[in-house]
Amino acid sequence: MLKWLFTIVVVAIIIGVFTPWMRNNAQKQPAARRVPGDITVERNGKRFLFPIGSTILLSILASLIFWLLR
């Protein structure tokens, strides 16, 4: 149980540290935050982003991390 709590805290810290950097980078290079497989639909001046590729990539990464911690 302590190992899981430690892992969650470390991941939260890493996300907290990199969030401002990722926002600034995304504003400078909007295409840099997308992965092939993400779908963008623009209609009537509104943009909708469906991050299917990013979701699959993060799922694989999370599965790998949990497998290594097992």
Average pLDDT estimate for 18-38:
64
**% of the chain residues with pLDDT over 90:** 3
At 38-66, the pLDDT tens digits run 777 888 888 777 778 778 888 888 899 88
DSSP-derived secondary structure for 3-69: HHHHHHHHHHHHHHHHHHHHHHHHHH-GGGG--BTBEEEEETTEEEEE-HHHHHHHHHHHHHHHHHH
